Amino acid sequence: MTDEAKRGGLSRLADLMAVDGRFAADVVSRPHQRLLMVRRGERFVTFAPGDVWDDELPLLRPTLEKVADANATIILLGKPRELDLASVLAKGVFSILPPDVDADLLFVTVHTAFEHLETKARAESRGKWLQRYRYELGELIEIARSLTTERDLDKLLPLVLEKARFVTGADAGSIYVVEGDDGDIGRRMLRFKTSQNDSLDYQSREFTLPISNRSITGSVALSKSMLNIPDVYELPPGTPYGFDRSFDQRMGYRSKSMLVAPMVSAQGEIIGVLQLINRKKDPRQKLRSAAEVEDQVLPFDDRSEELMSSLAAQAGIALENAILYAEINRIFAGFVTASVEAIEQRDPTTSGHSRRVATLTVALADVVDREVTGPYADVQFSTNDLREVEIASLLHDFGKIGVREEVLVKAKKLFAWQLDSIRRRLDFAGKAHEADALARRCRLMERGASREELAALDLEIETRRQELSAAWNAIVAANEPTVLKAGDFRVIEEIARQTYTDMNGDVHPLLTASEIKSLSITRGSLTTSEIDEIRSHVVHTRSFLSQIPWGRAFRRIPEIAGCHHEKLNGSGYPNRLKAEEIPLQSKLMSISDIFDALTASDRPYKRAVPVDRACDILGYEVKDGALDAELVRLFVEARVWERLGEEPPASRFRLA
């Protein structure tokens, strides 16, 4: 067929379509002398002679590029030389017609071609929708997993905002958290917590604004309903809220489309507002100019609202959990702090001891954690482990609330009331002797006794007064919690053998058996029974702490705290455990506890020991088999006591 005949074939088709009313709604054009195009809406069909497929395929390139999008197809007039017709059809050719096709076949073929494109477009649209749905569902599942595992509010809020922007294609966004009086929404505020912007790099700061209809976020908080605004610069007339442009003006930004959703608790209480700004055609595109905003920014569509609604619901529950978790941690921290204060109120002489022991123990644990050689090279303490040992150290003496206060604060061998009783007793004994002597003096004078006899009686009264005064001085000296000289025991025994007569004529010793026992203490200020009572605080500590549901992360706190007085050689208390039975954390605490007890300057019954001397004493404990040699070495070489002026690594109490 000649070129003229071929062109004539396309011209004939154009003429047929021009007079056929069935093509009246279509646009027929000749983009090239060898092509005929029929356009219906956004889609078109291109006619070409068969040999164009063989020899002039570039002419069909624009059409072929639209085939994949289901916007175009090709109809050939006459067969191409390529024998594999299936391959030709697969590459974008819809049909092959004879050059002399009549009007009816032409209409049916064109109509069928457009129906084919419509069907193909719907199928591809459904496929894309299904693909997007699967993608979004996967993202929502991943988001839900992330939100439920993150408990730190400062990390959760940026995560929520990042995921919300990601699934909706938003350029920027912010999160506000509701704070204030739960019972009165009018007294509550919205606190701006975090913001993100792909197009700007800036530092945001927190601020508050009232919950009212004057702002977009305040209106959403009040209504608990989502707002979708196509352009915040063109709000509908009568809208109660306005848009503050100060940020845009200051940063050279243009906020346009906005989607704002409430975050609601499981009880239906508003707890936050999630705000997204500028949905983009291409999420990777930066918005640095008004032209880019105009070209890229789209209103948030229905699907964005659905995704935002789902995400806001998840975020609301996650935010509520994070807030409750933070409150629980504050309560927990308050409980521990109050417990420490309760201990120190019972025993003011050891004020600060629990906190210092906690600081020393955590610092020593940190040193052990960083060891790469030696017996503890494989030991590692996680953040929760450090928190666990810190809390156990803070509460290691809590059982002192079960010990009599007078025993806890006993600074001398005798209780104050006992010493006062002895003072009164000696005074009475002196007055009683003086009264008896004066009565005898009267009788002597009545019978005319000599001056020598009266002088002897006066000497007896003075001698007894001096004896009682010396006895009192000896008792006061013996009452001090120091190591007694051997002779001091005989003095106390001699005083104990002395007696006095009461008003009824009954004879009593100057010192009771209990007083003698106390004054005969060779070391410190406590009797054996009182030492046992003090030591019982460890049992009380473990018993009390065991009643608290610590959870899995902190479940060993009662055991750790309850073993801090155990010794490696089995000489400790209360259970005389051996080295392998004592938790490592308790071994760390034992060293810290002994060191602080030695160096503390607030003990009224002893002087503070210098650091060097305290380290020597720890060394003696190692030689006796009471303390772990390697742990003491690490304690001394790292000079752990210098950490007392610092905050412990695990200074926040948090539940895991």
Question: HEC states along 601-651?
Answer: CCCCCCCCCCHHHHHHHHHHHHHCCCCCHHHHHHHHHCCHHHHHHCCCCCC
- What is the residue-averaged pLDDT of the chain? 85
Where does the pLDDT of residue 483 fall: very low under 50, low under 70, confident under 90, or very high at 90 and above? low
Q: Tokens in use for 642?
A: 């210098």
Is pLDDT of 36 > 50? yes
Give the model's confidence band at 182: pLDDT under 50 very low, under 70 low, under 90 confident, else very high: low
pLDDT at 602 over 90: no
The answer, yes or no, to whether residue 648 has pLDDT greater than 60, is: no
* Average pLDDT value for residue range 75-84: 81
Higher pLDDT, 242 or 535: 242
pLDDT for residue 163 is more than 70:
yes
Q: Where are the beta strands (DSSP E) in 438-590?
A: 499-501, 507-509
Residues 88/80, Cβ–Cβ less than 8 Å? yes
In this prediction, residue 146 carries a pLDDT of 66
Locus of tokens 């060097």: 612
Give the integer Cα–Cα distance in Å for 30 and 468: 137
In angstroms, how far is the first alpha carbon of the chain from the final one? 85
Contact 157, 175 (CB under 8 A): yes
- Does position 649 have pLDDT exceeding 70, yes or no? no
* 500, pLDDT greater than 70: yes
CATH code, residues 347-406+530-645? 1.10.3210.10
Using the predicted structure, report yes or no on whether residue 68 has a pLDDT greater than 80.
Answer: no
Kindly tell me if the per-residue pLDDT of 541 is higher than 50.
yes
pLDDT of res. 486? 47
pLDDT digits (tens, 9 = 90+) for 245-254: 999 999 999 9
Number of other CB atoms surrounding residue 78 within 10 Å: 18
The predicted structure's pLDDT at residue 8? 54
Peptide bond into 99 cis (omega under 30): no
What is the model's pLDDT at position 299?
A: 95
Residue 521's pLDDT is: 84
Place of tokens 């004078």: 445
Say if residue 95's pLDDT is above 70: yes
**Nearest alpha-carbon partner for 640 in 362, 398, 440, 435:** 362
pLDDT digits (tens, 9 = 90+) for 194-224: 999 999 988 888 899 999 999 999 999 999 9
Of 50, 59, 120, 113, which is closest to residue 85 (Cα–Cα)?
50
257 vs 89, more confident:
257
Section 602-615 average pLDDT: 77
pLDDT at 655 over 50: no
185 pLDDT more than 60: no
Q: pTM score > 0.75 for this model? A: no
Average pLDDT (106-118) is: 90
Lowest mean pLDDT among 169-173, 260-264, 351-355: 351-355
Give the mean model confidence (pLDDT) for residues 262-290: 89
Q: What is the pLDDT of residue 532?
A: 79
Q: At the topology level of CATH, where does 152-325 sit?
A: Beta-Lactamase (3.30.450)
Burial 622-638 (b: 16+ CB within 10 A, else e): beeebbbeebbebbbeb
Contacts of 392 (CB under 8 A, 6+ apart): 556, 557, 560, 561, 585, 589
Q: Once rounded to an integer, what is the mean pLDDT over residues 479-497?
A: 72
Question: Where does the pLDDT of residue 495 fall: very low under 50, low under 70, confident under 90, or very high at 90 and above?
Answer: confident
Kindly report the number of other CB atoms within 10 A of residue 467's CB atom. 17
pLDDT of residue 627: 95
User: Which pLDDT belongs to residue 132?
Assistant: 61
Query: In angstroms, rounded to a whole number, what is the distance separating the alpha carbons of residues 211 and 213?
Result: 7
Q: How confident is the model over 140-149, as pLDDT tens digits?
A: 666 666 666 6
Most confident of 80-84, 104-108, 129-133, 312-316: 104-108
Q: How far apart are CA 208 and CA 176, in angstroms?
A: 9
pLDDT at position 2 over 50: no
Higher pLDDT, 441 or 375: 375
